[in-house]
């Protein structure tokens, strides 16, 4: 690929890194700042209050998917990408400067809540905006490869967050981290978002979208980016929810929940569990483009089916063995096996969803169904896992993950291949087909 193509990939995906850095450092640093915003007392109650505010962010994602997906279809992919990173920057600044309970009572918690609402809006729109941009901006024969960088950047955000946590844990005292050190990652996140905002201001609109704006055969004027237009493609919208279900549960299980699972259930120290997650995620990020390029050669469905089969039949054995891993290397090996399986979904799901919809409804068509699926399944994965653990049947969660993958497997086996779809021609063909005789 040429220099210009790499620039588009960088600008289109780099914001994801900052978005997901901010999103995940909230969860990873919650143990340090939970006591700052709520009265002294039960630490568990403080963490539950903080986790509740974290959950609110997930349920704002469908709102963000609808709002920013509409912006992406009506005003352009560039406008949506610029707005998402602006919202994320604002949320990071709010958390970094939020007053503690000792200074402002529950006022600090209110600021924290507002920041999480903005984060939810931002992340809800960022996925679809970047997925649409990367898919449209790349050559047809390289769409899988280009769109795979979405999860490279998303995972990079987690890696940077985990790396920063490791550095701060080893260079600062526990008291300093609880007192003020937890604000550092949010300051870094705000600065990173400002840099991405500057980069995105100079980015070019995709040719597919620019051409559709003047094409009488595309979804026109008032219908662009509307629920009405999306309902005309309701089959594809429900397909996005179904194909996301298994992938998002597996992804959150082996990324955000893995560290807690290794420390709480497998008995590894927090430092060892964090290092396992860090190393596994580095390898996971590196193999995304390889799988994306493979899909450009053999198609999207083979990779999706491989993921679903592997996740359906290997989740229970992997999670059971992880519980008895006992040390770093066995845990890392099992985590890598799980993430290699998940790569069949993560590496190409962005382009698959974008390829399902015509230009005038593509951003909203990806954003809203994906955000709904994440709120219902991805965002609740950790809570479902802890519910089974508290009920004394932790293995029930393993079967839950496998069951969600099995549902998606049925979808993958019955859906059409999307690799060779001409994005512009699909738009015109469908518009013509829907015109009255």
User: What are the backbone angles phi and psi of residue 417, rounded to the nearest 5°?
Assistant: -75, 140
The verdict on residue 375 lying in a domain is no
Pull the structure tokens for residue 141.
């024969």
Query: In total, how many domains does the chain have?
Result: 2
Structural domain boundaries enclosing 192: 1-225
Cα gap 45→41, rounded to integer Å: 8
Q: Say if residue 243 is in the same domain as residue 183.
A: no
Specify if 366 maps to a domain.
no
pTM for this entry:
0.88
Query: Based on the domain organization, do 49 and 146 belong to the same domain?
Result: yes
pLDDT, position 431: 45
* 134 and 177 share one domain: yes
Q: What is the pLDDT of residue 406?
A: 97
Rounded to whole angstroms, the Cα distance separating 241 from 250 reads 15
Residues 109 and 219 in one domain: yes
Give a yes or no: residue 8 inside a domain: yes
205-236 residue pLDDT tens = 888 888 877 664 444 556 788 899 999 999 99
pLDDT score, position 70: 94
Q: Is residue 277 one of the residues assigned to a domain?
A: yes
pLDDT at 214: 64
> Can you list the pairs that 295-298 forms with residues at least 24 positions away whose Cβ atoms lie under 8 Å?
295/144, 295/347, 295/348, 295/351, 295/419, 296/141, 296/142, 296/143, 296/144, 296/145, 296/419
- Residue 371 domain flag: no
Residue 1's pLDDT is 66
| 60 in a structural domain | yes
CATH of the domain at 148: 1.20.1250.20
pLDDT of residue 216: 47
Give the containing element (helix H, strand E) for 132: helix 107-137
Torsional class of 41: left (φ above 0), alpha (ψ -120 to 50), beta (otherwise): left
Low-confidence stretches of the chain (pLDDT < 50) are 216-219, 428-437
User: For 402-427, what is each residue's pLDDT tens digit?
Assistant: 999 999 999 999 999 999 998 875 55
Task: Tell whether 373 is covered by a domain.
Answer: no
- Residue 41's pLDDT is what? 66
207 and 335 share one domain: no
Question: Which of 105-122 are b and which e, b meaning 16 or more Cβ less than 10 Å from the residue's Cβ?
Answer: eeebbebbbbbbbbbbbb
Distance in angstroms (rounded) separating the CA atoms of residues 348 and 303: 8
Predicted confidence at residue 183, as pLDDT, reads: 96
């Amino acid at each position: 690929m040429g220099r210009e193509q790499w620039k588009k990939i960088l600008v289109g995906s780099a914001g994801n890194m900052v978005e997901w850095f901010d999103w995940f450092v909230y969860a990873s640093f919650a143990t340090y700042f939970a006591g700052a915003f709520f009265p002294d007392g039960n630490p568990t109650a403080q963490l539950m209050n903080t986790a509740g505010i974290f959950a609110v962010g997930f349920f704002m994602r469908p709102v963000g998917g609808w709002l920013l997906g509409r912006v992406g279809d009506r005003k352009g992919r560039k406008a949506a990408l610029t707005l998402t990173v602006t919202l994320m920057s604002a949320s990071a600044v709010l958390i970094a400067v939020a007053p503690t309970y000792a200074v402002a009572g529950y006022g600090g918690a209110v600021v924290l809540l507002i920041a999480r609402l903005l984060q939810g809006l931002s992340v809800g729109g960022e996925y679809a905006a970047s997925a649409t941009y990367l898919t449209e901006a790349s050559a047809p024969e390289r769409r899988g490869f280009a769109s795979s960088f979405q999860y490279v950047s998303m995972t990079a955000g987690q890696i940077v967050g985990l790396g920063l946590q490791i550095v701060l844990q080893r260079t600062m005292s526990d008291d300093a981290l609880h007192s003020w050190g937890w604000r550092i990652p949010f300051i870094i996140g705000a600065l990173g978002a400002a840099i991405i905002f500057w980069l995105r201001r100079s980015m070019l609109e995709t040719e597919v979208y620019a051409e559709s704006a003047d094409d009488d055969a595309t979804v026109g004027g008032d219908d662009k980016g509307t629920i009405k237009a999306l309902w005309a493609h309701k089959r594809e919208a429900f397909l996005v929810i179904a194909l996301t279900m298994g992938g998002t549960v597996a992804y959150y299980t082996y990324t955000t929940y893995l560290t807690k699972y290794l420390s709480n259930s497998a008995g590894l120290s927090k430092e060892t569990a964090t290092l396992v997650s860090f190393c596994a995620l580095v390898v996971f990020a590196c193999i995304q483009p390889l799988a994306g390029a493979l899909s450009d050669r053999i198609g999207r469905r083979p990779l999706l089916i491989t993921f679903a089969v592997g996740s359906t039949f290997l989740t229970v054995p992997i999670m059971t063995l992880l519980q008895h891993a006992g040390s770093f290397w066995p845990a890392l090996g099992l985590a890598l096996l799980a993430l290699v399986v998940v790569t069949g979904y993560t590496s190409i799901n962005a382009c698959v969803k974008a390829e399902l919809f015509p230009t005038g409804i593509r951003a909203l068509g990806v954003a809203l169904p994906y955000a709904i699926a994440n709120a219902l399944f991805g965002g609740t994965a950790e809570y479902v896992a802890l519910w089974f653990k508290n009920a004394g049947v932790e293995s029930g969660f393993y079967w839950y993950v496998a069951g969600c993958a099995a549902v998606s497997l049925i979808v993958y086996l019955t859906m059409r291949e999307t690799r060779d779809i001409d994005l512009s021609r699909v738009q015109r063909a469908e518009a013509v087909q829907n015109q009255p005789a």
